[in-house]
Structure 1
Amino acid sequence: MNAPIPLLNDPDWTRVSALPIRENHEDLVPASLAPANLACYPAYYKLGIPNAVPECYMRRGVYQRLLAASRSLPKGLTLLVMDSWRPYSVQQYLYDTLYNAIENHWPDKPAAELEQLTREFVSLPSTNPRAPSPHLTGGSVDVTLIDEHGLMLDMGSQFDEATPWSHTAAFEQLASPTPHEQQVIANRRLLYRAMIDAGFTNLPSEWWHYDFGNQLWAWYRGQPQACYGPTHPESLESRWRQEIDRRHQ
């Protein structure tokens, strides 16, 4: 748990999006029904972001690995899921909001540079079945650690804070960290090691973002293909339609 977090390069999104997807059709499951050693707090819904869902849905394989990661933690600590499957409209809202904030701060920057700065913290919205936004696959999760009182551990920056301090290995680069910074380093290492050992990969620009099964995971694991493409929770209407179609075949 004390090994330093490696400094990884940002993803080459063009090559990430070119990786093939062989969908395995795993269903989405809700994190809120998990045992006590996995907590759920749908942050975007709580913040009132338009079209955010009041649940953290994820692929079954992701759910099982999150349970394993949480169970590996020291006594008194629990893994908290803050976001997972994300509707396209929410992805678009997050992207536009950050893009506009960056553009307002640097109005003279060209569009390509604004996009690059935005994509450091928010992926390009996409429903393309060959190159979906990572969260649209149900394979991405945003997580942190909470103590026995339900309070989040200090990770050195806020969830979704768009600053260099949110980079996973940012505090590892400090030559002489203060006692507070040493605690941040320990907390991030604890989260990182638990998630990596459970089979996830991390997005280097976000200490909270981990992937399994999607193209971003395949890129960092050196896998030839992903197994999660775009998906969505099953609605009652779609279930009824399928049942009626089967009944009248």
Structure 2
Amino acid sequence: MIDLLAPLPDAPEPDWAAAFRLPIVDCGEALEPLGTSQGFLVWPAYHRLGIANAPAECHARGGVFQRLLQAARLLPDGLRLVVLDAWRPFAVQQHLYDTLYNILRQHEADAEPAELARRTREFVAPPSTRADAPSPHLTGGAVDVGLCDRDGRWLDMGSLFDEATPRSHTRHYENASDDHGRAIRDRRRLLFNAMRAVGFSNLSSEWWHYDYGDQLWAWHHGHPTAIYGPAQVQPLEHLWRQQLDALRHPS
């Protein structure tokens, strides 16, 4: 039986360089739209915030979709899983990274570039389309999730989604001594233990970020290879061309 209120384990910051050195043997799973799901809610946060190039739908690999459904079923009655982001275009990743880096540089004018990059990477992975080292969200294996009640009202998770402060660290409330802090701790435990039970790993600096199949997931679990490399949501024009080519050159 899964203990959804089990304490959150200590988790160091990932060794990103080591993770990106892990080879990728892509299993070929397609990206699937998550908005058709009846098992969890989808609220594409970046599109709703008006960020340029952010898709109006959340897409993820088929294996991720299945595990999100499984995690949602593990939650207690009255709680629902909400997907905030999944596959992310490179342009959006670049925008998020550059924006946070520049804000940190303005607030900490004396900080060295390497320290600014480290602080930025705490909350936004470096943008990369490299076939051997893609940004996690570009693979369709990384998802950002939260919790709401049965009526769709957000639950207080202790920080805003994408909040760039220590309160966003997954274990920030683990030793809380007041009722409010313990309530947040328990919600984070519920989310973490449900997601971990179905195979996801968590990014320790972001309570909302979970990975399956990408290099970060492989690093966390000690797997020799990742199973998801860079992926792309194909535009309608590309799909039409594929269909016409298939008709012209049947196998």
Post-superposition offset of 1:45: 0.2
Partner of 2:123: 121
1:188 counterpart = 2:191? no
Corresponding residue for residue 25 of structure 2: 22
Alignment of 1:20-169 (within 5 A): 20-35=23-38, 37-169=39-171
The two structures have a TM-score, normalised by structure 1, of 0.97
Out of 3, 13, 16, the residue aligned to residue 13 of structure 1 is 16
- What is the DSSP-based 3-state SS (H/G/I as helix, E as strand, rest coil) of the residue aligned with 1:78? strand
Letter in 1 for 2:76: P
- TM-score computed with the length of structure 2 as normaliser: 0.96
Cα distance per residue 1:206-236 (max 9 Å; x no partner): 0000000000000001100000000011221
Alpha-carbon distance in structure 2 between the residues aligned to 1:88 and 1:170: 30
Determine the C-alpha separation between the residues in 2 that align with 1:128 and 1:162. 26
Counterpart amino acid of residue 67 in structure 2? R
Q: Secondary structure at the match of 1:171?
A: coil
CA offsets 1:88-112 (integer angstroms, 9 cap, x no match): 0000000011001100001111111
- How far, CA to CA, are the matches of 2:7 and 2:34 in structure 1? 29
Unaligned runs of 5+ in 2: none
Helix, strand or coil: the match of 1:33? coil
The CA deviation at 1:61 is: 0.4
CA distance in 2: counterparts of 1:151 and 1:85, whole angstroms: 24
- The aligned amino acid for 2:212 is F
Query: Equivalents in 1 of 2:25, 2:226: separation in Å?
Result: 6
Task: Count residues in correspondence.
Answer: 246
Aligned partners of 1:248 and 1:148: how far apart in 2? 50
In structure 1, runs of 5+ residues without a counterpart are: none
Pairwise CA distance, 1:160: 0.3
Match of 2:240 in 1: 240
Aligned residue number for residue 224 of structure 1: 224
Aligned partner of residue 242 in structure 2, secondary structure: helix
Secondary structure in 2 matching 1:210: strand
Distance in 2, matches of 1:24 and 1:107, equals 44
Please identify, of 131-140 and 235-244, the stretch whose mean Cα deviation from structure 2 is larger.
235-244
Task: State the partner residue of 1:200.
Answer: 200
The alpha carbon displacement at 1:7 in A equals: 1.5
Counterpart position of 2:212: 212
Alpha-carbon distance between aligned partners in 2 of 1:239 and 1:82, rounded to the nearest angstrom: 26
CA shift at 1:49, angstroms? 0.5
Alpha-carbon distance between aligned partners in 2 of 1:158 and 1:242, rounded to the nearest angstrom: 42
Deviation >3 Å, runs of 4+? none
1:229 alignment partner, SS class: coil
Distance in 2 (CA, whole Å) between partners of 1:233 and 1:226 is 20
